[in-house]
Every structure is written in C-alpha cells, then in structure tokens.
A and B are shown apart, each in its own frame.
Chain A
Amino acid sequence: MSNNKIINWFKYASPQSFYPVAGRMIPWFWGLAAIFFVVGLYISFFVAPTDFQQGEGYRIIFIHVPAAWMSMFIYLVMAFWAGLGLALNTRLSSMMAQALAPTGAIMAFLSLWTGAWWGKPMWGAWWVWDARLTSALILFFLYIGFIALQAAIDDARRADKAGAILALVGVVNVPIIYFSVKWWNTLHQGASVSLTKAPSMATTMLWGMLIMALAFWMYSIAVALTRVRAIILEREAHTEWVKELPEVKQ
C-alpha cells in the first residue's frame, strides 16, 4: 500500500509527461494570481492607511518590494534548475531555467523602474547609487547575460549547459557583488537613505505587501509554466507525441 503513495517524481522529468501536467496546472496558478492580485491591490489602495511621512506615494512599494523579492528569488530558482540540468542531464530542468529567465529579468526591471518612481518624490532623485539599487541593476545585467548567451547558441543542449555554468557562477557572485557594493557605498557616501531604518510598518501594509508578493509568485509560476510548454513544443517538435497533440494537429 505504502508504495502507491510515493509519487514517482522522475516520471515528470520527461517533457512528454510534464507537458499535460503543466497545462492542467497553469489555470490554477493564473486563478490564484488573479485572486491575490485583486485582494492585494484592494488592500494596497483602499485598506492600508496613508503613511504620515511618505503620503500616498509610498503605495508603490506594494509593487516594488514584491518585484524586487521575486527578481532575487527567481535567480536562485533558475540557477537551481540549471544546476540540476547540468548535474542530472535532465532536459526539462534546463528548459525550466530557460523559461524562468525572462520573468526574472522583467521582475528586476520592474523593481528598478518602480524604485525610480518611488525615489523621485521620496529622495528627490530618480536614481541614487545606493547599494540595493546598484546590486539590483547588476542582477538585471546577469539576467540579460544569461538570456543573451542562450540566445547566441544554436545547439539547445550546449545552450543549456553553458547557461547553467553562467547561472552557477552568477549565484556565487551575487552575494559577493551585493556586499562589495554595500561596502563601496558606505565608504563613498556615508549617510545614505536606507530602507532598513524606515519606521516599522503598519500591519495592514505588511499584509498588503505579503499578499502582493504571493500574487507575483503565482503569476511567475503561471508564466514560467506557459513558457516552458512553448519551449517543450519547440524543442520536441520532431517527436511523435508532439505531432499527435490535438493543439498541434489543428
């Protein structure tokens, strides 16, 4: 009996069996994302109180902070899948890494862009060479490098492996870059504006932010799964099972 309860995870490591599973999961993640977005945005705009220091402008953090979190988190997940693909030689893992990269890059860009919108009214500048901003910018460059490298290699398997090495080198470097930029910043400017010293947040604000983070998370999964399905179709186009798919036959 107990054997029946164990899910054979390796079964889903094959693109053929993962493709329909992903297709069934996508609507759920889209649904969850929509619910969390509606609830999160409602809290952010109507429930969360106006900040007495920052006024209404602070509400951009409900987009900004989740995007920044996701940009870092997705890089780790991407490197994990890429590393797994390199170690176990599973094609699907590398496809997952490839599918996550554009979403991560968009999140990094979104966090930079909304950060600039927030910074202008709060700090009086679109951009300051703060440690967080600078390391977010470099993270964005790392994403672009990963995408560019994979796009430049025609052979899909070589692209997977080369991208995996780059992602792993990047993962080792991200903390080094973060701390080096942090120390560089403290040496250069001394007193800079710091988010960590901000007054503790009201509970509703924190809830709004967490729910928005969940919304971003669900959205990222839904988009990544949609993209990985497209990648599977593209790469497995020569196989029989893809040719037999009803959506391909049409």
Chain B
Amino acid sequence: MSLLEVDDIHTYYEHSHILQGVSLQAESGRVTALLGRNGVGKTTLIRSVIGFTPPRTGGIRFSGESIERLPSHTIARRGVGLVPQGRRVFPSLTVEENLRLGGLPGRAGRWTLETVYTMFPRLRDRVANYGGQLSGGEQQMVAIGRALMSNPVLLLMDEPSEGLAPLIVRELERTMCALKETGLAIVLVEQNLPLALAVADTAYIISKGRVVFHGDPQTIRTDDEVRTKYLGI
C-alpha cells in the first residue's frame, strides 16, 4: 500500500472536465514528479489532494484512509503539507507568524521554528518582516518552511522553482534531496525539467487530464519521443 493513492479521479472547474480519470501513487522517502505542459491539470491534481477542488468521482487514499471528501484543514492536519503555486505567503503576517501558522496542526516531529531556521538561515534575519517585503527566494523558503512546520508525511510542491534565480534553484534541489532523506514523500509539479529529473525517483506525465506516461525519470531523459510528444521539448 502506498502512502498516497489517487484512484481514477475526475475533477471539474464548474463545467470544465479537467482531470479525466487520473490514478497515481506516491511513496515515503521518494519524490514523485508530475510533468506535462501548462494547463494539463497538474495543479488541479494537487488541489484535488489537498481538498481545494475535491474530485467529483474517484478516490484519494492517504495512509490507507479516504480523504477525498474531507475539508482541507482536516487533510492538512492529517499530515499533508502544501507548497502552493505562487508561494502564497501571507502578506499581513510576519515570517515568524507565517511559520507558526504552518505549525498549527500541532503534529510533533523534527520541524520546529529552530530547525526551519537552521535549514534556511536567511529567514532568521527576516523573522519580523512581513510576507510582502520578501524576495521571491525568501518567499519560497517561507512557503517550504511553513509547510514543514506541520511535520507532514506528504509534501505537495507546486512549481517551487518558479521565478527563482538559478543559484536558488540549486539550493532548492539540495533541500528537496535532504527532505527526501528524512522519509518525507514529495509530490512535485515542476516546469523545470532538469530539476525535476534530478530529484525525482518516479515520474508521471499528464496530458489533457490523463496520465500518459509513468516510469523511471531516466526514460524521460533519454527518450526523445516521450519528451517531444508530451513535454514539447
């Protein structure tokens, strides 16, 4: 049994049928990459898992329990952390308040304010700054730290490298590898293919709301046909 099992979900925005029967699994201590062009439903899949846009049909099991009908805050409290697209750091909250809010579920574990500051020393100098006063890289650190504060067992990361300088992206790669080492399951949506392939243990390619490829990231790296057909590269 996998930690996260998405089983044939169909998710809609109003009348648009975005996810048309997607199934996938994610395991502890592994990075599962979701790849695909823009607008194929990767973010919708993340939103379905966290409960923002619940699937109309199909099931989502987390640690063996169905979560597809639970409200988002309950899903989060059970151990699903979210690093959302666009980071969504709260502008009216200081860095420290953003992090403390992330710790709200009150799950015990290795992540505390102190360990987050150890991982992102730059945030220690910014504790009293408001979310709106941070650089893109700093916001990304807050978004990751905020998600870790709940001591999740599954981390959903949606385009974490978006808008970051190459040097920061390399830092992000090291961070993700370190998180994987702690036994965390990571579901990663990423446009930056080299980054995704460098950290992923398994990869799914989504096209038009369906999974069209599932396998070893190495295959995507070497198979030109898969790349051109589904990723447009």
Say if A and B assemble together: no
